[in-house]
Amino acid sequence: MIERYSRKEIKQIWEDYNKYSIWLDIELAAAEAMEKLKIIPRGVVKKVKSKAKINVKRILQIEDKVKHDVIAFLTSITEKAGKEARFLHKGMTSSDVLDTCFNLQLKQSGEILLKDINLLLQSIKKQAVKHKFTLCIGRSHGIHAEPITFGLKMLTFYQEFLRNKKRLEDSIKGISTCAISGAVGTFANIDPRIESYVAKKLKLNIEPISTQIIPRDRHAQFFSTLGIIASSIERFSVEIRHLQRTEVLEVEEFFGKKQKGSSAMPHKKNPILSENLTGLARLIRSYVMPALENVALWHERDISHSAVERNIGPDATIALDFALCRLSNVVKNLNVYPKNMKKNLDITNGIFFSQRILLELTAVGFTREESYKIVQKNAMQTWEGNSSFYENIVSDKKITNKIPVNKIKKLFNFDYHTKKINIIFKRSLKK
């Protein structure tokens, strides 16, 4: 991931130094278990730990010659630690180190992403509660439908990200496995108790059965979850972009005092953060398909997944971390304009009360088809003319012959559309 979209905490997880440090932790944990089981001499771990140093530059130099990253790493450690290092990696295969490390990195990244989601949830909840009864028009197909509140709009995103949090928790649990099972997963050259020890040491679960690798359906689930979260980010971002359009202007991204909008047009205040998030969401979703395709590897192992994961592991998690934090900041500092929401409500002269009239007409004896025809005629007259929907309704004798005008007036009441909001909030915010 490029520096522009990389935050320090999660970026460090994917740096070479951290990767090799995890490799060393795995090797030393396995050696500790071997010592306890009297497979290797006592004191090996202590001696190696005191002398071993991670030298990224040297590891890469060796790899350039031997064309094998784990061998290069072990050679580098041996150069510093001496002959005791020969006991490292006993009975293990490269994938034991690589896969366990990769899963641990995904787990570490996932835990940061969980923190990001929690911060976002706080920002959304605050806006939802603040605007619980702030009226605005609900739109279907982009067209004015019926009144809702801005708080309800925010609440839909709150619930969506609660589901995303649960999905991510499940995916982290699924990916948090360790495999130290040897060349084709048979434990022929290594005791299963060593795997259990390493897993406990690294706070991972053992992989019940591996081949030479940890099964990639786990990874497919993890990256698919990141893709779903990215789609939620895009849905939120697109909503902000639509609502910030000049003709709508119900919300607006915060705009700094010294911020510039357009290089050519000084009046512009563009929804650049939401547009950026839309683009990042597309990028993150693009990592999902390669993860799904990685599931079908040859026999007990091939390395077709390796180059894929070296890219999508850091890139997907780093990009999503950045996107979640950016969205949280956008929501937290969002400018909300209730007056414009009210102005937009009034644009259509009350035709969004059409369903209330429809239902009342059916209640007094009209068929649904008759009711629909009568209401639609008056709605179209309102749409095409200058009179309000209420004026047209009370002027229609077919309607007033069945429903008194004073009762019709009561049907044009915004409170009708907000009367169940407390119920929705209560069930949506319950812990």
CATH number at residue 67: 1.10.275.10
Handedness of CA 181, 173, 321, 108 (dihedral sign): negative
| Stretch 184-200: mean pLDDT | 95
For the chain, the helix, strand and coil percentages under 3-state DSSP, each to the nearest 5 = 65, 5, 30
Q: Kindly report, residue by residue over 409-420, the tens digit of the pLDDT.
A: 999 999 999 999
285 Cβ partners below 8 Å, 6+ apart? 227, 230, 231
pLDDT in tens, 145-179: 999 999 999 999 999 999 999 999 999 999 999 99
Instruction: Indicate the number of domains in the chain.
Output: 3
Residue 42 is classified by DSSP as T
Cβ–Cβ under 8 Å, residues 172 and 110: yes
Domain CATH for 132: 1.20.200.10
DSSP conformational letter for 40: S
Closest CA to 190 of 40, 90, 45: 90
Amino acid at 345: L
As a whole-number percent, the residues of the chain with pLDDT over 70 amount to 99
Segment (H or E) for 254: none
What's the whole-number average pLDDT of the chain? 94
Residue 189, pLDDT > 80, answer yes
Percent share of the chain, pLDDT over 90: 90
Domain residue limits at 131: 94-253+266-347
Whether 366 and 325 share a structural domain: no
Q: What DSSP string describes 282-349?
A: HHHHHTHHHHHHTT--STT--STTHHHHHHHHHHHHHHHHHHHHHHHHHHHT-EE-HHHHHHHHHTTT
Residues 70 and 178 in one domain: no
Identify whether 426 is part of a domain. no
Do 65 and 100 fall into the same domain?
Answer: no
Among the candidates 90, 112, 147, a domain finishes at 90
- Residues 211 and 189: their CA atoms lie apart, in Å, by 14
**146 three-class SS:** strand
Please check whether residue 430 lies inside any domain of the structure: no
Copy the structure tokens of residue 360. Answer: 């009342």
pLDDT on residue 106? 98
16 and 100 inside one domain: no
Identified catalytic residue from 21, 68, 262, 387: 262
Residues 162 and 310 in one domain: yes
pLDDT (average), residues 111-132: 98
CA distance 390 to 141: 24
Given this model, what pLDDT does residue 2 score? 83
Of 56, 90, 124, the residue that ends a domain is: 90
Indicate whether 112 and 133 sit together in one domain: yes
Pairing of strands 205-206, 177-178: parallel
Cβ 61 vs Cβ 75: under 8 Å: no
Say yes or no: 202 and 338 in one domain. yes
Q: Is the pLDDT of residue 66 over 70?
A: yes
| CB count in 10 Å sphere of residue 286 | 14
- Say whether both 323 and 373 belong to one domain: no
214-229: per-residue pLDDT in tens?
999 999 999 999 999 9
Give the pairing of strands 251-252 and 177-178: unpaired
Q: For position 375, what pLDDT does the model report?
A: 94
141 is catalytic: yes
- pLDDT value of position 265: 73
Q: Are residues 180 and 281 in the same domain?
A: yes
Considering only 159-168, 203-212, 353-362, 380-389, which range has the smallest mean pLDDT?
A: 380-389
Query: Is pLDDT of 262 > 70?
Result: no
Tell me whether residue 161 is in a domain: yes
Q: Is the pTM of this model over 0.75?
A: yes
Considering 50, 140, 141, 263, which one is annotated as catalytic? 141
pLDDT above 70 for 422: yes
The pLDDT, as a whole number, for residue 268 is 73
Residue 151 has phi, psi (to 5 degrees) of -60, -40
- 217 vs 175: CA distance, rounded Å: 9
Q: Token pair of 92, please? A: 């293990």
2 compared with 286, residue with greater pLDDT: 286
Residue matched to tokens 């490292």: 88
Q: Are residues 115 and 189 in the same domain?
A: yes
Q: Answer with the one of 90, 119, 139 that is the final residue of a domain.
A: 90
Task: Let me know if 329 is exposed, middle or buried by CB neighbors in 10 A (0-12, 13-18, 19+).
Answer: middle
Q: From CA 409, how far away is CA 363, in angstroms rounded?
A: 16
Q: Is residue 54 part of a domain?
A: yes
Shared domain check, 119 and 246:
yes
The confidence score (pLDDT) of residue 285 equals: 97
Q: What is the pLDDT of residues 16-35, one digit of tens each?
A: 999 999 999 999 999 999 99
What's the CATH number where 406 sits?
1.10.40.30
1 or 146, higher pLDDT: 146
Q: What CA dihedral angle connects 132, 281, 176 and 1, to 10 degrees?
A: -130
Region of poorest pLDDT, from 126-130, 134-138, 353-357, 383-387: 383-387
Domain presence at residue 421: no
d(CA 307, CA 323): 24
Is residue 262 annotated as part of the catalytic site, yes or no? yes
Q: Which residue's structure tokens are 């787990």?
A: 107
Q: Sign of the C-alpha dihedral, residues 396, 398, 401, 406?
A: negative
The residues pairing with 143 across neighbouring beta strands, listed in sequence order, are: 140
Is pLDDT of 304 > 90? no
Same domain, 224 and 298: yes
| 259 occurs within a structural domain | no
Q: Inform me whether the pLDDT recorded for 267 exceeds 80.
A: no
**Euclidean distance between CA atoms 194 and 173, whole angstroms:** 21
Which region among 68-72, 238-242, 265-269, 394-398 has the lowest average model confidence (pLDDT)? 265-269
Residue 369 inside a domain? The answer is yes
Mean pLDDT of 73-82: 93
Find the length of the chain. Answer: 431
Within-domain flag for 425: no
HSE (CB half, 13 Å, CA atoms) of 206?
A: 13
Position 258 confidence tier, pLDDT thresholds 50, 70, 90: confident
